[in-house]
Amino acid sequence: MEQQGLGTPLLESYKKKSWTRILWLLFAVLIFTIPGLVVYINSDPWRQGNVNTNNHKYRKEREVKDVVESEHGVVAADDGRCSEIGASTLRQGGHAVDAAVATALCLGVVNPMSSGIGGGGFMIVRSSSSQTAQAFDLRETAPLAATKDMYAKNPKAKYLGALSMGVPGEIAGLHEAWLKYGKLAWRTLCQPAIALARDGFVVTPYFASAIKKSGDMILTDLGLRQVLAPNGELLQKGDTCYNIELACTLEAIAEYGPQAFYNGTVGENFVKDVREAGGILTMEDLRSYKVEVMDAMAVDVMSYTILGMPPPSSGTVGLSLVNDSPHLNCVLVNLLPTACRLAADKESCFCLHSKKSVTNILNGYGTHDTVMNILDSYGTPDAVKGPLGLHRLIEALKHMFAIRMNLGDPDFINEASYVSDMLSPSFAKELREKIFDNTTFPSEYYMSRWSQLKDHGTSHFCIVDAERNAVSMTTTVNYAFGAKVLSPSTGIVLNNEMDDFSTPTEKSKDKLPPAPSNYIEPNKRPLSSMTPLIILKDDQLAGVIGGSGGMKIVPAVIQVFLNYYFLGMDPLAAVQHPRVYHELIPNVVLYENWTLIDGDHIELSLGKRLFLMERGHELKGEAAGAICQLVVQTIHTPNNTVEENKIGTRKQVFQGMLTAVSDPRKGPDVDDNEVSLSSFVEDLKPENENKSNNEPEEEEGKTRKFWSKAYSGGGGENLRNNNKAGELGMKMKKKGKSKTHWVCSNCGESFGQWWGGCRHCDAIGTLKVFTEDEDFASKLTGFGSEKGAGSWFHQNRGDMLPQRLTDVNKGINQMTWRIPLDGLFGSEVGRVLGGGLVPGSLVLVGGDPGVGKSTFLLQLAAMIAEGSNSGRAGPAIYVSGEESVEQIGNRADRMRIGTEDLFLYSNTDIEDILEKIQVLSPRVLIIDSIQTVYMKGVTGSPGGLVQVKECTSSLLRFAKKTNIPVLLIGHVTKTGDIAGPRVLEHIVDVVLYMEGEKYSAHRFLRSVKNRFGSTDEEGLQAVSNPSDIFLSEQHSDSAVLAGHAVAVIIDGSRSFLLEIQALCLSDSSVARQFNGVQHNRAEMIIAAIFVNVVSGVKLQETAGDLAIAAAVCSSFLDVPIPNDVAFIGEIGLAGELRPVPRMEKRVNALVKLGYKKCVVPQSTEKSLATLDLDGMMVLGCKNLKEHRSTLPAFFNRKPSS
């Protein structure tokens, strides 16, 4: 047959001969898809029929908790807490991708056995506005050091231990999708998961079961043990689980994006843990990871368009084969996989122009005439119903698994030869002719060339928002708890995705060789069973579907799809209907036969089992199955047709009833006091539309009722029972007052009042009113308004566990760790900084206006950016809240600065600044000035006390977590102090002041505070006689110097002596100056006199009053006081001398130091005379006058004047 060119498709009119033929086509397409081909069928009589909601015996009253209907958006995940978090994100005006980010991060926290940021997955996003769909491949990749023979000596290491880990892709993939579609701030989407990890969450029965099954491995790993067995015993159902390290990791990712993990301190800690556990991961592996973004694979069959993932996913198995039609001869080349598009032999890649494909397995018997003859004989679309349809499905699954292992990562495997072989007419005929309705065959019959890989685990969720944007995402760490290793410093569970590769030395039970197309290569992605799908009808969203459960995913998703769209089951019945599974080898049909945790029993009917056994199938009941999530949109046809808009180029988005179903197979039981926390779907609607006018409000004090398996907030029939409120890791608070928010649907910003338009993004008509209750759930996922949390940067409990001193890298404290500053300018700045700029330090530079602070830091930034200090150039960022980039550029020209690595940015939003700069990973960040920047959600205007404190604190955390030094310019007040709270100088590491006369050519850079300054202190040691420190030099010249006196004070249990100094001047000016004594008390004792306490000690008691008076009198009378005399006593307002507490202890202190005379209040003289004073004389005085008059006589001297 003459082949048509690949560039222009030839589509001729095509008249369907039979419904049966098309039904078989869909069935085959779902099972035998080979990536690379997109089919458009010109004519299609199929329409979705009415759904019978009462045709399934498994529908019970208690099952309605798994279903919800709404017109305003739904979230279906396998954990209720995560469904609520995703729905709350949509309530804030978020896109379906925003909800996907929040949901995925939540699942990684509460279900770490299935997924997490240490793993990867697949995501399909369909935009209703552009009517396009993109596939995001965030699958793990093999490390750069990986080889196909790396497990030859230790096969067990392929699935157990750190060596089995692939490079994680979940964070990179989520962020990539968010960059394209997200509306809400990235940090907002991370906060719910952070709160769950930090504050704890309740262990569900499903989680508890997983912990128990892996208990031995958990107890042997330090990281898993500290999270899942913190007290040496495994967590049980109902316990609270904490993962503080993961919370800190997510906080870093929230603040600094994926760079924190792929090129930051989090990644460095993670790599360190992995390598210490025996892995080969490096920072270069993380830095080189790339998310694959491509158009989703699509096929049009029987009025539906099915969107799936290209390889290495199995989502295209059954989705992208050419229809069996003599009139469809070629395919658009731009829709083929990369490997096929770039193949030199494009035409040999697809010999499908000869009209037949693998779909012939269920579409016909080798030729068009045979297809029509056999399928026409059925006469009804019921061909796949009943036991016979089940038999055909099982046989098709066997063939699918036989050819599945020919696939692989299209970036590494040239699939042209495989695709050419599988799509040839002879191949299709050979396969189809081997399927018989009356028998099955041994495994060898199905021509499997390669051993099967059995992947595991996963978690799936489906999301549809109010605008009918849709997300289908499957994420995994492979086995339960992945590699059975948790990074102690980051809280991340390591995946073991390397087990999904084939290896040459691998031995399998099926005795078949491993598949070369799936061999390990650096940066290669392994084959996967994950199958996220989005289904369209007439270019409108019809459904979202996917599942978790390893190799069982593909059969389960196919059966759910057929059950709902072509077998007439309602959504719940389509998901809950008993399923069959087959893995080709062993040649056993696994059928579901198990009682769920909530009491429902699922079992394949006896009649079907007998039918299959009669045809030679070996059956085995299994208490396990894949977990599917399903969202469908009812589109009534033909009356409910979609009209084109006035432009005529794009169809309007149809918004029908959404029905979401979460598979009960993963649901926990429901106690009287605890509502199910799993298998949850969430309906949402703006709160002001949720209640009718006559609907009563909840009674004060009652908790909100939304922790059931299915929840409807209104806007649609609620199909669940009203269960009691449950828990989100802890009990909810009582319902409080309501708050009204206006949320911008464009950017997600929240306002306390209506402004007509968004004041953040300037969009008009985008504000929607929401009412929020002040309960725990709303605060957990809450709004970003000013009434929310005080700071965007949430404090954490430390980035890692407490470390032994011997384990700390002390090299960072040495001078060589600093960033050197060379040259005349740099060396002088480095000298002030104590030897250089310390990475991760926060430096505050103050000075008068016009002194040159901005010029100084701009010059410093240019020097670091040019690399003149280290020989290596790197980006430096100068952010100004006072000048435009043009103004800064003019100043740079004046200073002859022209480096390309110096980046200028004019902005005052600290959150936006840190978000924008993270992609550059700068060597230094300069903020000019701290008084001009602000944070959303923090009260006050820029420069206010609260704003300055919060902004400085956030920059401090940024510096510490990224090791990027940050330099701040601080304005000063009229008094010369830096404007802002006094704590500002305590928060920063270094405070520099630039001083100089306005018109002087010189400036003085002074270090006021420096945590990293040069120092030679080695520690502290005890001082046996502290009195020697405080007595100055009075022993040497006290005989000739007046104005000295000794006091005895007590501090705690210690007593020691202090020297009091006084100076009296006979000057006409009155002046008083006090150092070390309470000002008011000194004022009471003296007049125009200077008083000082030696060594800067602060007198906090009145026992020094008499010594102060003695020093003053000594100075005034010019009578020196001998160095063996001390004074103890308090002076009253009338001049009387009063005793002070613990006189005996004070006097004993004098005796020990060899004092010979002591002046005390007269009332204590007698009692002190009875003590063993070792010859010391005690003199008592009644009042200050007597004390003064006795001084000359006491010292046997006369005053000089």
Does 554 have pLDDT greater than 70? Answer: yes
Residue 407 tokens read as 């696939």
Rg of the chain over Cα atoms, rounded to whole angstroms, equals 40
Can you give the pLDDT at residue 248?
95
Encode burial over 420-457: b for 16+ CB neighbours within 10 A, e otherwise: bebbbbebbbebbeebeeeebeebeebebebbbbebbb
pLDDT digits (tens, 9 = 90+) for 417-431: 444 454 444 554 566
Identify the band that residue 725 occupies on the pLDDT scale cut at 50, 70 and 90.
very low
The pLDDT of residue 807 is 67
Q: CA 10 to CA 4: how far, in whole Å?
A: 8
Residues contacting residue 573 through CB under 8 Å, at least 6 positions apart: 55, 56, 58, 59, 563
Question: Hey, which of 65-74, 283-292, 718-727, 1008-1017 has the most confident mean pLDDT?
Answer: 283-292
CA angle 7, 126, 918 (to 5 degrees): 105
Which residues pair with residue 534 across a beta bridge?
307, 544
Beta bridge partners of 474: 122, 460
Distance CA 312, CA 1083 (A): 86
Please tell me the predicted confidence (pLDDT) of residue 333.
31
Average pLDDT over residues 705-732: 32
Instruction: Report the catalytic residues.
Output: 458
**Measured between alpha carbons, how far is 1130 from 1146 in angstroms, rounded to an integer?**
13
CA dihedral 228, 234, 236, 241 (to 10 degrees): -20
- Long-range contact set of residues 944-951: C-beta below 8 Å, sequence gap at least 24: 945/980, 945/981, 948/979, 948/980, 948/981, 948/984, 949/980, 949/981, 949/983, 949/984, 949/987, 950/790, 950/791, 950/793, 951/910
For residues 509 and 451, give the distance between their C-alpha atoms in angstroms, rounded to a whole number: 9
| pLDDT tens profile 1100-1130 | 788 888 888 888 888 877 888 888 889 999 8
Q: What is the rounded (10 degree) CA torsion for 108, 112, 115, 119?
A: 90
Average pLDDT over residues 587-599: 82
Residue 733: the pLDDT is 35
**Helix, strand, coil abundance in the chain, percent, nearest 5:** 35, 20, 50
Query: Higher confidence at residue 184 or residue 785?
Result: 184
pLDDT digits (tens, 9 = 90+) for 18-28: 333 333 333 44
C-alpha 760: how far from chain center: 25
Distance from C-alpha of 35 to C-alpha of 563, rounded to nearest angstrom: 24
pLDDT of residue 299: 73
Helix (H, G, I), strand (E, B) or coil at 377: helix
From CA 821, how far away is CA 829, in angstroms rounded? 7
599 versus 229: which is more confidently predicted? 229
**Three-state DSSP state, 302:** coil
732, 1055, 1143 from 1177: Cα distances, Å: 74, 20, 15
* Binding positions for L-glutamate: 139, 476-478, 500, 528-529, 550
Burial 895-904 (b: 16+ CB within 10 A, else e): eebebebbbb
* pLDDT value of residue 388: 84
Structure tokens at 632: 């469908």
Which residues share a beta bridge with 1059?
Answer: 1046
* Max avg pLDDT among 46-55, 114-123, 1110-1119: 114-123
Give the HSE-up count for residue 948: Cα atoms under 13 Å, Cβ half-sphere.
24
Phi-psi region of 64 (alpha: psi -120 to 50; beta: other; left: phi over 0): alpha
Residue 365 CA to residue 368 CA, distance in Å, equals 8
Q: Strand, coil or helix: what is 1004?
A: strand
CB within 8 Å of 1060: residues ≥ 6 apart: 1044, 1045, 1046, 1047, 1091, 1092, 1093, 1094, 1104, 1107, 1108, 1110, 1111
488/1142: higher pLDDT: 488
Determine the residue type at 1124.
Answer: D
- With a cut of 50, say whether residue 58 has pLDDT above it: no
Q: How confident is the model at residue 221 (pLDDT cuts 50, 70, 90)?
A: very high
For residue 652, count CB atoms less than 10 angstroms from its CB and return exposed for 0-12, middle for 13-18, buried for 19 or more.
exposed
Coil/strand/helix, residue 239: coil
Q: Tell me the mean pLDDT in the region 953-972.
A: 90
pLDDT value, residue 630: 92
**Sign of the alpha-carbon torsion through 847, 850, 856, 858:** positive
Judged on CB neighbours under 10 Å (0-12, 13-18, 19+), 882 is middle
Query: Among residues of the chain, what percentage have pLDDT more than 90?
Result: 29
Q: Which residue type is seen at 384?
A: V
Domains of the chain: 737-802 (no CATH), 815-1010 (3.40.50.300), 1027-1194 (3.30.230.10)
Look at residue 320 in the predicted model and tell me its pLDDT.
33
Alpha-carbon span 970 to 854, nearest angstrom? 10
| Confidence (pLDDT) at 584 | 78
- What's the pLDDT at 251? 94
Pinpoint the alpha helices (H) of 480-621: 553-565, 571-576, 606-614
Could you identify the residue written with the tokens 């599945």?
A: 404
Q: How far is CA 1 from CA 4, 171, 353, 546, in A?
A: 9, 49, 8, 40
What pLDDT sits at residue 1011? Answer: 86
Q: Return the pLDDT at 1024.
A: 72
The answer to whether the beta carbons of residues 1092 and 1065 sit under 8 Å apart is no
Beta carbons of 166 and 498 less than 8 angstroms apart? yes
User: Looking at residue 526, what is its pLDDT?
Assistant: 85
If DSSP states are collapsed to H, E and C, what string results for 895-942? Answer: CCCCCCCEEEEECCEHHHHHHHHCCCCCCEEEEECCCCCECCCCCCCC
More confident call, 1004 vs 652: 1004
Task: Mean pLDDT check: name the lowest of 496-505, 641-650, 803-812, 882-891.
Answer: 641-650
Element housing 75 (H / E):
strand 74-79
pLDDT digits (tens, 9 = 90+) for 332-363: 333 333 333 333 333 333 333 222 233 333 32
Range 33-60 burial, b when 16+ CB lie within 10 A, else e: bbbbbbbebeeeebebeebeeeebebbe
Strands 1130-1131 and 902-906: unpaired
For the record, the structure tokens of 406 come out as: 């020919």
Say how many Å lie between the first and final Cα of the chain, rounded. 135
Q: Is the pLDDT reported for residue 95 higher than 60?
A: yes
Query: Does residue 558 sit in helix, strand or coil?
Result: helix
The model's confidence at residue 765, banded by pLDDT at 50, 70 and 90, is low
- What pLDDT was estimated at residue 63? 41
Angle at 134 between CA 420 and CA 314, to 5 degrees: 45
The whole-model pTM stands at 0.53
Listed as own residue / partner, the contacts of 882-888 with beta carbons closer than 8 Å and 24 or more positions apart are: 882/928, 882/929, 882/932, 883/854, 883/928, 888/858
Torsion on CA atoms 25, 26, 32, 35, rounded to nearest 10: 110
Nearest to 600 by CA among 582, 629, 577, 632: 577
What is the arithmetic mean of pLDDT over 1134-1148? 86
- Residue 247 pLDDT exceeds 90: yes
**992-1001: Cβ within 8 A, 24+ apart:** 992/832, 992/833, 992/843, 992/844, 992/845, 992/846, 993/845, 993/846, 993/847, 994/845, 994/846, 994/847, 994/851, 994/852, 994/853, 994/856, 995/847, 995/848, 995/851, 996/851, 996/852, 998/848, 998/850, 998/851
Q: What strands lie across the sheet with 1004-1010, from one edge to the other?
A: 902-906, 876-880, 924-928, 966-970, 842-847, 990-995, 1004-1010
Cis before 1141 (ω within 30): no
Per-residue pLDDT reduced to its tens digit, 624-680:
888 899 999 987 544 444 444 333 444 677 888 899 988 888 753 322 222 222 334
Q: What is the pLDDT of residue 1095?
A: 61
Place 1084 in a pLDDT band, splitting at 50, 70 and 90.
low
Element (DSSP H or E) covering residue 1056: strand 1054-1064
pLDDT value of position 309? 80
Q: How far apart are CA 361 and CA 318, in angstroms?
A: 11
Q: How many CB atoms lie within 10 A of CB 230?
A: 13
Between these two residues, 1042 and 933, which has the higher pLDDT value? 933
Which range (578-587, 619-628, 1046-1055) has the least confidence? 1046-1055
Whole-number pLDDT of residue 311:
57
Residue 1075: what pLDDT? 65
The rounded mean pLDDT for the chain is: 72
Compare 1168 and 870 and report the one with higher pLDDT.
1168
Judged against a pLDDT cut of 80, whether residue 182 lies above it is answered with yes
CA angle 1111, 1115, 1117 (to 5 degrees): 115
pLDDT at 997 over 50: yes
